[in-house]
Each structure stands twice: as C-alpha cells, then as structure tokens.
Amino acid sequence: MAEAIHSWSVDNVAKKLSGAKFGTEDDDWENKKEQGKAAAGAKWTADPAEALASARHEFGEHGGVNMSIEASATFTVMEPDTMRKMFAGELGPDRDFFVYSRHFNPTVLNLGRQMAAMEGTEAAYCTASGMSAISSVLLQLCPAGSHIVASRCLYGGTHALLSRFLPRAAAIRTTFVDVNDPAAVRAAITGETRVIYAETMSNPTLTVADIPALSAVAREKGVMLVVDNTFTPMVVSPARLGADVVVHSVSKFISGGADIIAGAICGPARLVNSMMDLQIGTLMLLGPTMNAKVAFEIAERLPHLPLRMKEHSSRAMIYATRMKTLGLSVVYPGLPDHPHHRLLQSIANSGYGFGGMLCVDMGTEERANRLLHHLQNTTQFGLIAVSLGYYETLMSCSGSSTSSEMSQEDKETAGISPGLVRMSVGYSGSVEQRWAQLEKAVAACRREEAALTPPAIPYGTNCA
C-alpha cells in the first residue's frame, strides 16, 4: 500500500508539469534532456521568461485571475473506497486527488510547474528552504558510504553540509576540486561517486562553473550533475546546459522580498517521485515540503523575476564599472577582466546581463567593515545584512559571516579574502542617487584612513 501511493505521483503529474518545455508530453525524459543539451550546445537562445509565460496559467476556484490557495493539510473524499484507490495508486494528483500536504499539495505543485518551466526541467517541487532542497537531493542521490565531487567555492552552509554533516550522518564523503578543471573533476571521481555538485556562480567569490564541461564529465562517468542556481535565476539555465538537477534557495532573487525562506528542486520526474517515496523518500520522510501559503506568495512574484533580474544585473554592471574607476578591487563576472567573463557570456541567456552580485576586496576585515559602516550609516547606500536578491542593496563581509563555517585554509583555497565585501545590488532609488551615496562612502573611508596613517616624516627633519 505504501509503495503504491507513489505509482501515480510525479510521473503522471509531470505530464501536467511539462507543457512549456521540450517536445510533446509523450517524450521521455532522456529525450527531452538530449534535446535540451543539443539546444545548449548550439547556445540556447530561447528566453526563460517565455518558457515561464507558456506554463499553464492556474485560475482561482471562482475564476479569479490568481490561483486559489489550497491551505488544507489533509483532503476529504466522498466515498471511503476513493481513499483505497488513492493508496492503491489508481487515483492521484494528475486527476486532482490529493491525500496529505506533506506528500503533494495542489498550490505547491502549481509553483513547481512554474519553476520547472523556468528552468526547463521535467518536474520541480518546492521546499521549506534552500538548504532543505540541497540536503534532500543529496541524501536521495547518495546512499550511505558514497562520494560527492564538489566545487571548492560554495556557500558556507553547503560547504559545512558536505564537509561536516554528511560524513557524520551518513559516511558520505566529498572531495572539493576546482570544477573548471575537468581533469581534476575526472580524477576525483571514484566508483562510489554519485554526484558532481557546483554553484552556477559561486557564493561569495563569483566564480562561474563550466556547466557544459561538467555535464560531459558527469555523463562520461555515469554520475549526476547537481547545480545550485541561486545567484543566477534567468541569467543561466543549468538544465539547458546539461545539469541533471537544479536547486535553488528561493529565499533570494526568486522571492525578491527578503521575507520568505524557501527552496526548490528542479529535475527529472523520477527523482522528485523517488523523493516522495513513503519508504525511502527524503521529501516524504524528512518532511521539508513548502507551505501552500508560501507557494502562493512565490507564484505571485515569479512573473516579474525576469524584469527584476534585468535591473539587478544592469545596476551591478554600472556600479562595478564605475567602482573600478575609483581604484577599487572589484570582482564582477560582467567585467572583461573577470577570469570567467567569456565563459559566462557563452552560457548565459541573452538579455539578463551578468547577475546582480558583485564583490569588492578591501584587503582587510577592518577596511571592509569601515566601508560597510559608511555605506549603511553615513550615506544609506544599502543595508549590512546577509542574503541577496532584495530590492535594497544588501552587503556583508563574507569571511566573517556567510562563509564563517569554513576553515581558514578552505577560505583561502576558495579565494575568500578577509576583506571581501559581497554586495547584492538592489534597484530601489535611482542609479545616480545610489552612485552618489557609494562615492561619498568610499571618500569617507579614504579620509578616515588618511587620518589614521601617521604623517610621513619630511626629508631633512630627522638628523638623529
């Protein structure tokens, strides 16, 4: 009985989910993925905003233009025998039969359909946080004692999950490598490896993963490529480039409001299906599913994500370019001097720029903190806060905040210097208003530093 409940789950629902993507509903997933890869190989030119707009629009119960929120945890049936049929796998979400919202919920499924359309995957399901999306996927794909090859440049929480939590909880080991070195990735893969894991654009160093090259290695070695696309929704579509699974911290750009913690898993229906298995499914058994009210909120924000990303990217490009003229050490993949500028150009969707994240290396934590202080408290350019994707600019010193889980050695390997200030560029106010605030804060830092430096002793005065 427990097994049967899954037979109708996402496999059938995926047919509803897949409308806006590759080919017909009858194509199998491997074919769709191949088509996606072929398209990616030739540089995918379609716009993810178009894919999102082609997803089925869900109307409200009374014809409302917005979908209704199915806020129920449990679902009733008219006849007792219907319950038996649902548990026997004869009736399911594809025919609007639901059992319990930790399993499937109609509103959360609708958001999943939008996410799948946007990322070009067969299916998607949404979770309570980005970390739960990542941990659930990895625990589903990697049995105890298995192995992961991961980028050495990752969000601190993910790094801790891989380097500390998974070895302790399930003897899953990770080898961290430079993922843009295919030979190193290949060499790190063992018979136990199940997953290659990378962030499209790494937190906080903004290195860009060569997803087509990683996908080629993953296929050659028969492992899954899982990509965290939190920094670059719309800008890059990893599944179109060959990633098997795309995960998101929806708490960031996708939400846009810095008010919700949420995540998403976009990938093959059979993966989401296995994650809902009553016996071994991580979504079903660890239970990090999304609340329907949260799913509704996010579904209302997705349609303007393309516009928001364009503005985040456009402003990040303007500030990065101008900050360089102030003599600051700027890291931004949109600048031609960024080591992965050309790579990002070659894999990015056109029209979305190079993303809304930039970094300034101030050399020391003290100087980084001085800049942060003036940017927030003197000129009101932005807010000293972790996270990203908000309409206000958010800024933090990564080494002592979001990457503080990492050892000093791991930070050095990842290129996280103590003075690295990460900025998520917002779009409130005008460009010139914000630029004037930024310039003023930099000038204030320089004045203060000049006052702190002991004056040079003029020649000829020291006769001792």
Ligand X SMILES: Cc1ncc(COP(=O)(O)O)c(C=O)c1O
Write the binding mask 209 to 228 for ligand X: x where contact by CB under 6 A, - elsewhere.
-------------------x
Core vs surface per residue 416-436: b (16+ CB within 10 A) or e:
bbbbbbbbbbbbebeeeebbe
Please pick, from the candidates 107, 136, 174, 230, the single residue that binds ligand X as defined by CB under 6 A.
230
Interacting residues of 402 by C-beta distance below 8 A, sequence separation 6+: 155, 156, 157, 203, 204, 386, 396, 422
- The Cα 297–Cα 305 span in angstroms is 13
User: Is 241 within 8 Å of 212 (Cβ atoms)?
Assistant: yes
Cβ nearer to ligand X, comparing 163 with 402: 402
Could you tell me the smallest distance in angstroms from the CB atom of residue 161 to ligand X? Answer: 10
Q: Strand 193-199 to strand 173-177: parallel, antiparallel, or no bridges (unpaired)?
A: unpaired
Cβ nearer to ligand X, comparing 158 with 437: 158
| Under rule CB under 6 A, residue 131 binds ligand X | yes
Cβ nearer to ligand X, comparing 70 with 199: 199
Size of the site for ligand X (CB under 6 A): 15
Could you tell me the smallest distance in angstroms from the CB atom of residue 270 to ligand X? Answer: 24
Please pick, from the candidates 36, 93, 112, 157, the single residue that binds ligand X as defined by CB under 6 A.
157
Could you tell me the smallest distance in angstroms from the CB atom of residue 278 to ligand X? Answer: 25
Please pick, from the candidates 9, 18, 129, 274, the single residue that binds ligand X as defined by CB under 6 A.
129
Residue type at position 237: S
| Under rule CB under 6 A, residue 155 binds ligand X | yes
Angstrom CA distances, 341 to 206, 292, 332, 365, stand at 10, 39, 8, 27
Please pick, from the candidates 130, 306, 355, 426, the single residue that binds ligand X as defined by CB under 6 A.
130
Of 154-162, 170-178, 369-377, 435-443, the segment contacting ligand X by CB under 6 A is: 154-162
- With CB atoms as reference, the residue minimizing the distance to ligand X is 130
The torsion angles phi and psi of 147, rounded to 5 degrees, stand at: -140, 145
Could you tell me the smallest distance in angstroms from the CB atom of residue 159 to ligand X? Answer: 10
Of 7-15, 124-132, 219-227, 415-423, the segment contacting ligand X by CB under 6 A is: 124-132
Residue type at position 116: A
Stated as kind and residue range, the H or E segment containing 384 is strand 383-384
Of 24-32, 75-83, 123-131, 436-444, the segment contacting ligand X by CB under 6 A is: 123-131
| Under rule CB under 6 A, residue 251 binds ligand X | yes
Cβ nearer to ligand X, comparing 92 with 389: 389
| Under rule CB under 6 A, residue 283 binds ligand X | no
Residue type at position 348: A
Of 86-94, 126-134, 276-284, 452-460, the segment contacting ligand X by CB under 6 A is: 126-134
Q: Is 16 helix (H, G, I), strand (E, B) or coil?
A: helix
Which tokens go with 296? 């509704």
Q: Which of residues 50-79 bind ligand X (CB under 6 A)?
A: none
Cβ nearer to ligand X, comparing 101 with 402: 402
- Give me the long-range contacts of 255-259 (CB less than 8 A, separation at least 24): 255/297, 255/298, 255/301, 255/389, 256/301, 256/304, 256/305, 256/308, 256/389, 256/390, 256/391, 257/301, 257/390, 257/391, 258/385, 258/387, 258/389, 258/390, 258/392, 258/394
| Under rule CB under 6 A, residue 249 binds ligand X | yes
Cβ nearer to ligand X, comparing 75 with 231: 231
Interacting residues of 463 by C-beta distance below 8 A, sequence separation 6+: none
Could you tell me the smallest distance in angstroms from the CB atom of residue 334 to ligand X? Answer: 19
Task: Give residue for tokens 């079903």.
Answer: 284
| Under rule CB under 6 A, residue 263 binds ligand X | yes
| Under rule CB under 6 A, residue 203 binds ligand X | yes
Cβ nearer to ligand X, comparing 118 with 154: 154
Could you tell me the smallest distance in angstroms from the CB atom of residue 425 to ligand X? Answer: 15
- CA trace torsion 264, 211, 237, 160 (10° rounding): 20
Write the binding mask 181 to 200 for ligand X: x where contact by CB under 6 A, - elsewhere.
------------------x-
- The Cα 459–Cα 464 span in angstroms is 12
Q: Strand 224-228 to strand 383-384: parallel, antiparallel, or no bridges (unpaired)?
A: unpaired
Could you tell me the smallest distance in angstroms from the CB atom of residue 404 to ligand X? Answer: 12
Q: Which of residues 381-420 bind ligand X (CB under 6 A)?
A: 402
Q: Is 199 helix (H, G, I), strand (E, B) or coil?
A: strand
Which tokens go with 28? 């199998």
Give the interface with ligand X as residue ranges (CB under 6 A): 129-131, 155, 157-158, 199, 203, 228, 230, 249, 251, 261, 263, 402
